[in-house]
Structure formats: C-alpha cells, structure tokens
A and B are shown apart, each in its own frame.
Chain A
Amino acid sequence: MGKANRLKCLADLGKEINEFYMRYKRAGEEGKTTCRIMGYPLPHVILRAHDVHYMFLPSYAATSAARGVVGRLHQVAEEKGLLREVCSYVRANVGCAFSAEAGIAGADHMYSMPKPDFIIVTESSCSMTFNWGDAERRIYNVPLFVVHCPYVWDEADEKDAVAEVTRQLREFISFLQDITHRRFDWDKYKRTMALAKETAGLRMATMDEACQAIPSPATLFDWTSLLAIINYLIGLPEGRDVALRVREEVIQKMERKEGAVVPEKYRLYWDGIMIWPFLGKLAQKCAALNANVIWSRYSTFSFWECPEMIDLENPLEGNAIQVVRLHFNRSIDWLIENITHFCQRYRIDGLLFHANLTCRTMAGPQLEIMDAVSRKLGIPAVYFEGDMTDETLISESQMDTRLQALIETIEARKGK
C-alpha cells in the first residue's frame, strides 16, 4: 500500500487564507470599499491595485467546504428556497448572505461576512454565474457590473474575444472610479500585474516540470491547494513567495527522486473540480492504490494559465487573455487535442472523471472528452459522480469502486 508524501510548504497556506478573510472583515468594519466576485479570478489584480477588498465567492465556498463548515450554509440556502440541484458554490454563498437571519453568524468565523459595496461577475462559460451575480445583487441591493467573455467557438475568434474583454475591463475601471470616487492608478496596476505575472509564471512552470517528472514530486491535491496563490494572493509579494517556496521544494524532491506518492505506480489525469471536503481523504485513497493524480485541466488550463502572454506595457489586454484562453471557453476539439497532448507529455496511465452534479459547466463536455482521449491514447477512463462542496451528493463507495476499477484495468493492460 502506497503512502502520500505531499508538499510540506503548503501547510501554512491556511494561515494566509485566514488572514485574508480577517482583512476582508476588517475592511468592511472600517468602511473601506469591498466587493464580491463571481466567475473567473479576472478582476483581482485590478481591484488590488485600486485598494478594493474582494471576496471571491467560489473560493469562499471551497474553503468553507475544505474546513468542514459548509453544510450549515447549504442548509440555510435550502431554507430560503434554493433547490439542491443548484451549484453548491451558490448555495454556500447564499447561506452566508442569510447567516445572520438564520442565527448562525457567530457559529464560525467563515459565516459572517460584510455586505459588499458592489458585485462583479467575470465569466466566459458559466452562464449560471451571471444569474448568481444577479441574485446577490437582489440580496444586497448594490450595483452589479458584468464582464462577459465571448466564447471561442473557432480559434479565429480569439483575437476579437480578447479585444472585447479588454473593452469591458476598461468600462469596469470607469465603473470602479465612479463607485470609489478615486482615480485608477495605472502605474500601481502595472506593478501589481508584474507580480501577478511572476507568480502565475512560477506556478505554471513548476507544475509543468513536476508533472513531467517520474515519480512526480507533487500531486493534483497539491496543485489545487496552490490555487490559493491565485484566488487569494495574486499581485501580492506573499503570493510570489509561496510560489517560490513550492518551486524550491519541488526541485529538491525531483533531485532526490522523491514522489508525492510512494511508490508511484500509476499516473492519472483528473477531470473536474476538486471535491473540497474530501481533498485530504482523496489524496490518501489514491496514494493507497499507488496512484498519483498528476494533472487536471482544472488546474493547468485555468487560473491565470498563460502568464507569458501578459505584456506589461498593455496589462489590461494581458489580464483579458487569461479568461479568453480558459479551457471553459474552448471548443470540444481544442479540449480533446490539448488534454491528449498533456496526457502524453505527463505519461498518464488512466483518466478519472469527477462528474460534478452541481457544476454543469465543468461536466458539460466530459463524456466527449472521456471517449475521445481514452480512444486516442488507448488508456482506460472511468467517471464517478460527486460534488465540489456538498457532501450529501458524494457517494464514497462509488468513488472507491470506480477508482479501484480504473487501477485494475490499467494493471491488466500493463500486464498484456
């Protein structure tokens, strides 16, 4: 039975995240401008450069789930009339909005968050996110700004899409100036973007090297934890420093040929959002089967995935490119081609699909990807149903049996 040997330097990230929420709460109490963001972490750097404190709602839900406190938020949302088929990130945040009314605000420090001054939705694919933003607008009765990224139906559409998002981001900056009664500091924005570019660049380069290494010194469960440097710390020196520490540890482990799973016998691709309440448990389950989940389109084709395209002389466009090139915004042909390419590059033995019952955006193309990539590479694939935060929608036994079946199939094929 294998053992998990995850990156040690990520253990302190929890403290940084705690401090983030404390700062956000203090900002609300001190009357500083605060906002809620839905969708892609696109406006973070703009907001940071303008000293606006943000709460990124998908991360809020994921963090609440990882800390085991999301269940009561879901319950509050359901009492308000939200059905269980709704995105569980939405349910967590609606629960948060009504936590005081439900009398649970003091039960956990994650339950009580200040009312925002405005809401921004930046999204490329998940139309539900806009409905969510509109719902939050009605709850808080504050202005809402929408950045809607055009879909890249054909690769030729990319240039127009970047121009369109850049235009909308420029409108957003005007909106921001109007709402805060302050001028936007473009120099500060450039400096913040430079840090963002460096941080995101370190993340992508480290992941790529680690994913190629055999055994791989890290695992998807590390990479998903590392998303905190984008969602919480991007544009801050602290984020860059975490990325540097991760890089150092990864290089050291590679030099020692030390894997994240000991011994690493099977290398897997994961498709889907992480199951946040089960992150640690899942890492253990896979390690026990000597399986290292190497990579995922969720972590590799997302979260500021093309920092090399940021031109610091034209930072707004570089900002826009991050959402346009996001995997959610790509055609099925692009997804199949690129997932196949990276599965070959990272010597993947099997494909594991998390069919996320309340994230239909992620689940949408899954069955086509599963069929096509599996055929192209001649490797087995399985899927199991679950959810990113709602434990009541997760069947652990289904997860166990499917994972077991995948490993047995890989083993049988290797034996031939």
Chain B
Amino acid sequence: MSNLLEKIGFVFEDPYKRAKEEKSNGSKVIGITPMFFPQEIVHAANCVPVILQASKEPITLGFSHYHHFFCGLTRGIVDLAAKGKLDFIDGLILSDMCFEMRHVADPLRRFRRFPVIHMQWPLEANEERWLDFITGRLGKCVSKLEELSGNRIGDQNIEASIRLYNKNRALLRQIYELRKVKPGILSPKEMSALVISSMVTPVEENNKFLSQLIAELERLQPKVASDTRLILSGHLCHEVKDGILDLIETMGGVVVGDDLYTGFRYYASDVDTNTPPMEAFARRYLNLKIPCPTRVDIKRDWAEFLIQSFKEQKAKGIIMILAKNCEPHMIYYPYMKARLESAGIPHILIQVEHEMVSLEGIRTRIQAFIEILRG
C-alpha cells in the first residue's frame, strides 16, 4: 500500500513535479485554474494539463500585486507567478468562475510570463439558456489553444480524451466506494492526494496507477472501528491545508463522504460520450451532480444535497471547511446553517486561511465536536 502511495507523494511537496518533467521531455504544459474547465480539451491538444493548486509557500512578492483580503488560492497563484515559479507552463487557461479568480488575470497579464486564455462561465448553472453561451466560449478557447499548441483539436481527439478522463473519474469513484465500505483504508489526506494527482499528472499514467491501487485496496480490511461517521463539506476549489484532514481521523472520526473539490466534487460526474464534445462539457457544467454555491442554481439545492448525503451515509455530523474570503461559500453559509439546524444535523464550521492555521485550535474544536457526537 504505502509503496504505491509513495508514487504520488510528490503532490505534497511539489504538485507540478511531473508536469515539469514532461516539459523537460519536450511536452507543452498548460495550466488551468480551478474549477470547471475540462482537462480533456488541453489533453486533446497534445499538451499536459495541470490544474493549479493552492500554493504551499508564504506569500511575499504577491502582496505587491494582490490584496491580502482575497482567498489564499488566488493570492498564491499571483505570488508564484510573480516569483517566476509558474514559468514551466506554456500558457494558462483562466477559468473565470468568480471575480477573485478573474482578477488574477490583472497581474498575470502585466507580468507577461506566459499567455493567458480566458474562459468565462455563466454564473447560473442548470439552465438551458446558457448552453450556447458556454459552447461558444469553449469553442473560442479551443481555437486559442490550437494556436498556442500548434496542434489541431479535432472531435476525435477530444472524444478519446473524454474516454480517458471518464475512466479516471470512474477509478476515483471506485476508490471512494471502497473507502466507504472499508473505513480507514485511506486517510482523508491520502484520498485528497489521489485527486490532486489526477489534476496534475498525465492521465494515462494516473489511470494505470489508480488501477493498481484499487487492486491493493480490495485486499485490505477496514482499519477504523469508529462509529463517528462524518461528512466533510466545502473547500470549493482547492485542497484543504495539510494536517487538517488527518486530524479528523486522529481524533476518532471516520470520513464517510465529502463534497470537497479535491474530493467527490472533482470526480462525481462524467462527460457524456453520446453528445458532441462541446455540448457535453456544457451540459456537465449545467447539471453539476454536486450543487455548487458559487453558481446560481434554482433547481437544486446544496443544503438539500448535503442533508441527503448525511442520511444515505448514516453520518453523525458534518464538518464544513471554509476557505477564508471565499465569498460564495460565506454567503451560502447562513442558509446551510439554518437548513442543517432545522434537520437536526450536528455541524461545525472551520475557517482555514492561507497564512496561518492554528492547528491546535482546530484540533480542540474537532475533538469537542466528535465528543459531542459520541454523546
């Protein structure tokens, strides 16, 4: 087990290690900002897609370019770019999902270290009226990416890429299910690492790795006897800071479900292979399996989704993790809080910052929460 996981240990140190190696072997590497933009399109351009991760460095040069009251993910990207540490990418697709991410373009366009391709998503999900809007904009991105990569992106290439990424998501879902029936075979941090590796590693290699891992996991027995079943929710577009996820199981809880970005949210749904590719990508976006509070979604309700997950997983409590200054999440929270309270679901909100997290404070709160759940 541990030998296999060592293969992706790099994601904790330098998530871009594999991409840099591919670059030195002559491949073009294209960065993608979270969320939503299909890695498949970049892959179909014969480039290595890399979803940018939260920076692990203290923000220094970035302070001169981006205010401290923006989220850690966006400030981290600006900081790394200012330091030249994203120079390994040949271009960046700026997936315009919120204004904090949009304004990352301001310093990046002035730095002129790499070209930036803009992809705007409508703020409303689950509405047929946005279908043409999305397909039109994805089409523009394809043209710009063709120009940048020098490779034509035909439907056949995209369809092949979709099949590879659907396979990747299916493998991750298989692990997710295994973990539910065999609690403890993978820690929350390890599960998160698997998702991150799918975001930053060539998909062919990652699929092979995940298949081998599944074979090993199937042979393992459950490792956690705890009956304090928990659901993790939130942290919408980047990984939860090191240490926090593992704290939960150290304190005696067992994670049986999540809707984290570096979790179920990333691999919950596939791209339909029976629909023309651009429309299929648009429909995947418009019918998010896990409702996203960053979108207006009048047909589905994130709180309802979480309540249902809680019931289905026979969970005892929900831990909501909020990335500081993530405004969509903060705005949704009062409604979520009210709904969970009226459903009688115990929950706790933990706010995580880029600069400093008092792990001891969080440990105390999680410990108290788990003790309350145990009665």
Contact = CB atoms under 8 A, between A and B. Distances in A.
Contacts of A128: 98-99, 327-328, 331
Interface string B276-296: 000000000000000001111
Nearest to A86: B330
A364 B102 contact: yes
Interface string A355-393: 101101101111110011000000000000000000000
B330 A368 contact: no
B106 A368 contact: yes
Given A87-B327, A146-B124, A151-B120, A131 B296 contact: yes
Interface string A255-283: 00000000000000000000000000000
Nearest to B328: A131
Given A125-B102, A368-B107, A372-B110, A86 B298 contact: no
A121 B96 CA distance: 18
Contacts of A137: 298
Interface stretch (B62-70, B182-190, B203-211, B237-245): B62-70
A357 to B, nearest CB: 5
Interface stretch (A13-21, A75-83, A223-231, A318-326): A75-83
A135 B330 contact: no
B99 A83 contact: no
B118 interface: yes
Given A82-B331, A127-B294, A130-B124, A365 B69 contact: no
Interface string A76-114: 010011110111001000100000000000000000000
B122 A131 contact: no
A101 B109 CA distance: 48
A132 B65 CA distance: 27
B100 A360 contact: yes
Contacts of B332: 131, 135
B305 interface: no
B289 to A, nearest CB: 19
B10 interface: no
Contacts of A126: 99
A151 B96 contact: yes
Contacts of A372: 110
Contacts of A82: 330-331, 333-334
A367 B65 contact: yes
B337 interface: yes
B325 interface: yes
Contacts of A209: none
Interface in B299-346: 324-325, 327-328, 330-335, 337-338
Contacts of A127: 97-99, 102, 123, 294, 328
Given A85-B69, A127-B99, A364-B99, A146 B123 contact: yes
A344 interface: no
A331 B330 contact: no
B219 interface: no
Interface in B51-79: 64-67, 69-70
B335 A135 contact: yes
Nearest to B351: A83
Contacts of B351: 83
B133 interface: yes
Contacts of A171: 129
A50 interface: no
A83 B118 contact: no
Interface string B188-217: 000000000000000000000000000000
A371 to B, nearest CB: 8
Nearest to B301: A138
B167 interface: no
Contacts of B153: none
B105 interface: yes
Given A83-B333, A131-B327, A148 B122 contact: yes
Indicate the member of A85, A131, A139, A363 with the most B CB atoms within 10 Å: A131
A87 B100 CA distance: 13
B335 A153 contact: no
A144 interface: yes
Indicate the member of A85, A150, A358, A361 with the most B CB atoms within 10 Å: A85
A332 B120 CA distance: 17
A364 B103 contact: yes
A30 to B, nearest CB: 28
A333 B111 CA distance: 12
Contacts of B97: 127
A94 B335 CA distance: 11
B265 to A, nearest CB: 17
Contacts of B335: 135, 138-139
Given A127-B123, A360-B99, A361-B99, A132 B118 contact: no
17 contacts: A85-B69, A85-B330, A86-B327, A123-B123, A127-B98, A127-B102, A128-B98, A128-B99, A135-B335, A146-B123, A151-B120, A332-B107, A363-B67, A363-B70, A364-B70, A364-B106, A367-B66
Interface of A: 77, 80-83, 85-87, 90, 94, 121, 123, 125-128, 130-135, 137-139, 144, 146, 148, 150-151, 153, 164, 171, 331-333, 355, 357-358, 360-361, 363-368, 371-372
Given A363-B67, A367-B64, 4 more contacts: A82-B330, A126-B99, A135-B331, A360-B99
